[in-house]
Amino acid sequence: MSVSRRGFLRGGLASAAGLVLADHLGIPAQAAVRPAKAKSVIQIWMWGGPSHLDTFDPKPDAGYDYCGPLSNTSSTNVDGIRIGELLPELAQQADKYSIIRSMTHNVNAHETASYMTQTGRMSGDGVVYPCAGAVVSRFKGYDAGYEGLIPPYIVLTQPQGRFSEAGFLGSRFKPFATGGDPGQQQFAVEGIVAPGMTDERQRKRRYLLHRLNTLKHAMTDDPRIEELNQAEKGAYDMILGEGSKVFDLSQEEDELRERYGRNTFGQSCLAARRLVERGVPFVTINYNGWDTHKQHFQTMRRKLPEMDRGMATLLADLSDRGLLDSTIVWWSGEFGRRPKVQWEPPWNGGRGHYGPVFSAVVAGGGFRGGQVVGASDAKGETVKERPVYPWDLIGSMYELLGIDPEATLRHPQGQLVRLTPTAADGVEIGGRLKEIM
């Protein structure tokens, strides 16, 4: 659900009131286990599930029933690593990222797989866990001294919609979804930049709000009212001040914007770079269109070049600006696609959901580049070596962010809940990604 301008202001004031009156969450947390190498995360969420065979785990010898028309591969700038033929620009950035080819959870349903992949927890135990972005917001956001005008957890542009991102942490830790389209002439961020609303008109609306705010004038010495005033000031700073400028992509050189690609995904990557440059701890690019049950290869020929250009430019741009060392880039969907193409009707050349094995990519923030972790079998149907589960990957990112993966949060019902599970919780553990950390 998008957030209206009025809702954004109301939410900011309500959050401030909550801080003043009580910390209703009562969340204790353990200290970080080690100094943080990463400060921020850019999550490229491949909503719907991308094919591992057509991206980062190609199987050119598997035959037409598995490769379809995409039977070639791209050599990379790292000896021995080859990726899909439609990713030539990412092939030249392979020294900056590592590929995990043995992700697994064996779930083929969107909602459950999305929940597991984003929270690092199994479903079904009666607890609705927060996703990684909400956890990072809890440990690296306002409670940890973050003072940015921009909320600490941003989604470009629409919420994932598969689950409640904040889980039991509550609405205070939900992401701010920008709405709008950064690929348009003006990136009209919902609640910050309103189409057709001039700055002068917005200032007049603020003046009228102050004239009508009798409570403020009647309780001038009340510290709670002062907190609300500060929240309102922060909200308007985002609308009229420095905060809004981070979303003004016209401040970037045209040549760089062209390199990212003049489309929603490419410009979202550029916006994400600008946000982490301002210190925002967690940014999700919600990149949809990957649920390719039908017309799979037609979609790949359209979508993969777009992804290739935007993601490759993001990695290069972060590196050139000295930001990659402190920024984790995490590429993944909820699962992969069925390795054997479904040529039969009604699919006619589609790929179904596939959770037994899929790929993820990580870069920066303490992750080494130019590496491959794990392997699938010759047809990409099973994990051949080094299984990696969602909680292994998320726990590794927490560790690089200086967040103890074994830290606990207090559930509203009173129990202490660990950030990541153990074998005692009935899950298989592959282990954190020490080989690339």
pLDDT digits (tens, 9 = 90+) for 207-220: 555 555 655 555 56
Mind listing the pLDDT tens digit of every residue in the chain (437 residues)?
Answer: 344 443 443 344 334 333 333 333 444 444 445 689 999 999 999 999 999 999 999 999 999 999 999 999 999 999 999 999 999 999 999 999 999 999 999 999 999 999 999 999 998 888 999 999 999 999 999 988 898 888 999 999 888 766 789 999 998 899 999 888 888 877 777 766 555 665 566 555 555 555 556 555 555 666 665 555 555 555 555 555 666 788 899 999 999 999 999 999 999 999 999 999 999 999 999 999 999 999 999 999 999 999 999 999 999 999 999 999 999 999 999 999 999 999 999 999 999 999 999 999 999 999 999 999 999 999 999 999 999 999 999 999 999 999 999 999 999 888 899 999 999 988 999 999 999 99
User: For the chain, which residues make up each domain, given as ranges?
Assistant: 30-197+252-436
Q: Are 327 and 318 in contact (CB under 8 A)?
A: yes
pLDDT of residue 199: 58
pLDDT digits (tens, 9 = 90+) for 387-400: 999 999 999 999 99
Contacts of 242 (CB under 8 A, 6+ apart): 149
Q: Are 251 and 245 in contact (CB under 8 A)?
A: yes
Q: What is the CATH number of domain 30-197+252-436?
A: 3.40.720.10
